């Protein structure tokens, strides 16, 4: 295809496939809404035999879903079956550079990303066994991806711990030795709960990024919210209306504190979010929520 000069110039994966089928005997194609009609519903990407990590392939609808964030595109994927039974999920890079077939020395940026299963839907459907990935393809095992960040589900931060000197948890709060916050430090308890998940409490800036992913302005435009910024006249994005990633009308701990008594947090409500420097909450308060982010 490259020698014939037809690798580039396609606007979508579907456009590319129309040309690709002239070079490969494709017997069935499936768009990104019906990937499993051509490809196995689940593949194993990591872990071991007793605790495998699986990815549901019907969620691989875009190049971004295949880990190709550097493409800066949400180009659709497609799945297809070739004549010998091999199955493939593919995404095309619309901005792939032309590579001269004579002069090129192999340095061209890939125009396609793919996941090939050499024996189709038969097992074991495991990467490194019957499945091969092209360079750059990687799948997140994140349970709750929001934007390009991996979050836990939210939880009520009602775990109190003792952070006084001599405590096994004293490193969770540098102010913990100051009496009142010894036995009922709920902010430090939230930090520990995230630590137990192999994650951490988000910074104020990360909570603001979460807010930017959650809301649009009153006219439906994307918003960018700063770490300490308050924002009003917002709407929850349509994709989050029925299943928001956190509990609205609540406030969420950040990882940043400023005294023995208080730590920063951000408030998320239906039409507003608040995260100014004045958003402090007592570490004694057990009514806050928390959400953890991957390290």
Residues 197-211 have pLDDT tens digits of: 888 999 999 999 999
Query: Looking at residue 222, what DSSP letter applies?
Result: B
The pLDDT of residue 208: 96
| Structural contact between residues 201 and 253, judged by C-beta atoms closer than 8 angstroms | yes
In the structure encoding, which two tokens stand for residue 184, read together?
């009922």
The pLDDT of residue 100: 59
Segments making up each domain of the chain, as ranges: 13-141, 149-294
Element holding 27 (H helix, E strand): strand 26-30
Backbone angles phi, psi at 129, to 5 degrees: -110, -85
Q: How many CB atoms lie within 10 A of CB 233?
A: 11
Percent helix, strand and coil across the chain, each to the nearest 5: 20, 30, 55
- Average pLDDT of span 125-144: 81
For 170, how many CA atoms within 13 A lie in the half-sphere containing its CB?
A: 8
- Average pLDDT of span 259-270: 92
The pLDDT of residue 83: 96
In the structure encoding, which two tokens stand for residue 228, read together?
């300490």
64 versus 221: the higher-pLDDT residue is 221
State pLDDT tens for residues 24-45. Answer: 999 999 999 999 999 999 998 8
**Least confident residue range of 8-22, 157-171, 201-215:** 157-171
State pLDDT tens for residues 104-124. Answer: 544 445 788 899 999 999 999
Beta-strand relationship, 250-257 and 262-268: antiparallel
Greatest Cα-to-Cα distance within the chain, rounded to the nearest angstrom? 76
143 versus 247: the higher-pLDDT residue is 247
| Structural contact between residues 242 and 257, judged by C-beta atoms closer than 8 angstroms | no
Query: Looking at residue 70, what DSSP letter applies?
Result: G
Work out the pLDDT band at 295, boundaries 50, 70, 90.
confident
Percent of the chain with pLDDT over 70: 87
Whether the pLDDT of residue 284 is over 70: the answer is yes
Query: Looking at residue 206, what DSSP letter applies?
Result: H
The pLDDT of residue 230: 95
Query: Looking at residue 161, what DSSP letter applies?
Result: B
């Amino acid at each position: 295809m490259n020698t014939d000069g037809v690798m580039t110039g396609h606007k979508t994966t579907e456009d590319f496939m129309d040309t690709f089928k002239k070079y490969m005997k494709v017997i069935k194609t499936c768009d990104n809404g019906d990937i499993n009609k051509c490809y196995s519903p689940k593949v194993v990407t990591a872990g071991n035999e007793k605790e495998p990590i699986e990815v549901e392939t019907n969620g691989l609808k875009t190049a971004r879903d295949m880990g190709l964030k550097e493409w800066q595109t949400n180009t659709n994927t497609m799945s297809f079956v070739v004549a010998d039974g091999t199955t493939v999920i593919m995404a095309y890079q619309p901005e792939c550079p032309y590579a001269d077939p004579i002069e090129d020395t192999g340095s061209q940026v890939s125009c396609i990303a793919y996941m090939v299963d050499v024996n189709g839907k038969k097992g074991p459907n495991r990467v490194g066994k019957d499945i091969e990935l092209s360079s750059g393809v990687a799948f997140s095992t994140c349970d709750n991806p929001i934007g390009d960040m991996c979050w836990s589900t939210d939880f009520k931060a009602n775990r109190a711990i003792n952070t006084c000197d001599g405590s096994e948890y004293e490193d969770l709060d540098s102010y913990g030795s100051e009496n009142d916050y010894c036995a009922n430090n709920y902010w430090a308890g939230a930090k520990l709960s995230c630590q137990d998940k192999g994650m951490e409490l988000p910074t104020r800036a990360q909570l603001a990024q979460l807010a930017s992913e959650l809301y649009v302005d009153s006219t439906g435009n994307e918003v960018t919210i700063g770490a300490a910024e308050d924002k009003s006249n917002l709407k929850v994005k349509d994709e989050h209306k029925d299943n928001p990633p956190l509990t609205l009308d609540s406030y969420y701990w950040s990882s940043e504190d400023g005294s023995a008594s208080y730590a920063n947090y951000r408030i998320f409500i239906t039409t507003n979010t608040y995260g100014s420097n004045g958003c402090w909450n007592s570490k004694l308060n057990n009514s806050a929520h928390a959400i953890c982010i991957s390290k």
